[in-house]
Structure 1
Amino acid sequence: MNHVNHKLIAGLAGATLLAAAAAAWVAISRQPASESSSADYALPGLSGQINAVKSVAIVGAESKALVSLDHGERGWTVREKGGYPADTGKLRELLLNLADAKLLAAKTASLERYAELGVDDPHNKDAKGVVVKLEGIDPPLALIVGNASSHGGGTFVRRPAEAQSWLASGQFGVEREPAQWLNPSLTDIASERIAEVVLTPAGGQPLRIVKTQRADADFKVENIPAGRELVTPGIANTLAATLAGLNLEDVTAATDQPAEPALNQAMFRTFDGLTIRVDTWQKDGKAWARFTVAFDESAAAQALREELAKAKPAQANIAAGQSATPAQPNPDQELQQRLAARRQEAEQLQRRLHGWQFALPAYKHANLAKKLDDLLKPAAAKPAAAGKLH
């Protein structure tokens, strides 16, 4: 019969427990700070109140207000730009990033070392970071946003009332220029809709390009001098695409700058009754523009009738090949729906563009300043005169 040494077993069991406890302590001690502080948010409570935020202020060195975003009856606007509409997509991204930011690791609490992380007091004239202040929520919140971590994956932050600074998760796109917070979209009118463009330089001859119907491949350039020809057959097509994806670079109220004496004028007319006039000029290294929108409802109705008439035979052919003919839309009702959509587009453009002056991208302004000679091949050199006989 085997004899069991109970003291030996008890000793082994105790040693096993001690080893397990030691291993557990080592594992915990090696956990990164992000795991131990993952539940601590930089701005606790923001995630449930994002839609309640009514103002966002971005404050720089010497407590200077850099950007003020306000939410009112007209939605989000940029105060420094006369109340022009703000880029709500960019603003929401900032708020979501702030709401999601978790404190990963405690950093310096020393006043002398704040500048290294960009979280020094915003009252200082040399402060590198910015303070983001959120109001309209209870309580109002603020966070000093400093440098991005050089190792990636985080941003240094500090709550203004606390000495402790932190490495927080996420990268915050806190733009410091008011123009960077503007809604950039001006117009998006496809070149396929354009029937005519007339560019009239200050003191020069107009350049006119036209299409007689939408299906035309290229715009016709009028008044080409004898003996000259286009660089390429479709060179004028780029001019008709000027209003497609047109964004601003800056904006000011129309009363803030005096009208310039020398203006270039551009007129765009669509097949469906929309006319947009653009007056442009150069000032302080920027290309500025004013827009005037007009809508010819009778021209729009006529163009839409022609579109529906062309579409009707195609719809009839499709219906003929089907066993059960689906109900066809009422032509008059469809005409009125499309006409209402065109009218609404004109009204929206008028509200967006009226009363403002916009700085345009250089490449778009270059299209608006084109002259006829810019579209033509160089004139052939005249042959030298023959020498006289003596």
Structure 2
Amino acid sequence: MECTLNLADGCNLQCTYCYEGNEKQKTKLSMDSMQTAIDFMIKNNPEDENIHLNLLGGEPLLNKKMFFGLFDYIDSAWAESKDKFEFEMTTNGILMDDNVMNIVKNNNFKLSISVDGDRETHNINRKSLDKRDYYDSILSNIQKLIELKVAFGIRMTVTCNNVHLFHKNVLYFYHMGVKNIYAAYDDFGAWTPETLNELDHQMELLDEFYLTSIAYTKDLLFNLHDLKLTTFFAARKAMYCSAGSIGHFTVNSSGEIYPCGYVLNDPKWKIGNIESGIERKKLLDSIRASVKSSEKCKQCDIAFTCSGQKCGFQNYRITGYLNIPSDITCELERILYKHNYIVISRMYDQKTPRLMRYFEIAEANNIEISTTMQSIISEVAAK
């Protein structure tokens, strides 16, 4: 079960690339709504699965009272279900403190700090509402997380105007001691042939960095390669996520239910609330009105690994249709595919343990290997 709960809709930053825009609502989740939302998740948990609860905003720590209150409530009202929760939170790091770090360290928690790189890079797009420079505070909190051995990752956004600094900033965090580096391409940006070429160049540099500094380690991760390994390895049909089902939904700070954060607070996609539940007919009607016949992806050779074939609501946010990714998404995914193919080929050639363990898993679980991976195997063997 994957649930997202918005603790606060507002934010203390005005990032130029934020898909929510900068005219955000100022509402915060109340105690009653938080408790009702937790009750709803547990009572509707299909087949008693684990509950992956993502705490988001805006900036979720603008509502610290509810952040702490949520853990107190689960401890007191649902102690028998606490072990089923896997928590996640993305924060800009400005409002982190010792108490928040303690919660993260002592619970089953995945923490992400949104920061684009060094001060120069970070301040290109991530401006504060009050015009102050909070970079020193963010960096101090990152360094404290490292010192306290709190598990966390850095979440970078790669944009048209900072792409030339991409490789430099991955190394910046790596040398700082950050173990998990996540980067996301800005699919909403106005990419040009020049900036796409620069991304290709930066990925060439990062391929070498990954292969020499990450691929042979046990505890380091770079998402653009590591989280693509399974998409290349196992034969599978490209499928959109299950957003909007009883096992995958988003709750805003007013207790309204939406299928995905990309359409949070969009009246068209309000599909219920935590009191009455999900209106499946409303969801299906909205889906039917947001797809159209298209040949764009039907014969695509990289559909199996492309975000445009998994994230329908990102597509909708850009093109207005769930099943039609933007041309920019296609360009960005083509570049990523090219570099994933190069890196995985070299990992197979070198029999890198990080990749080879998937062959052991496949054999033990009778998993079919994809045609793409079989092509890589054949190419390496033919050398």
- TM-score above 0.5, yes or no: no
Identify, as 1 or 2, the structure richer in strand: 1
With normalisation by structure 2, the TM-score equals 0.19
Identify, as 1 or 2, the structure richer in helix: 2
With normalisation by structure 1, the TM-score equals 0.19
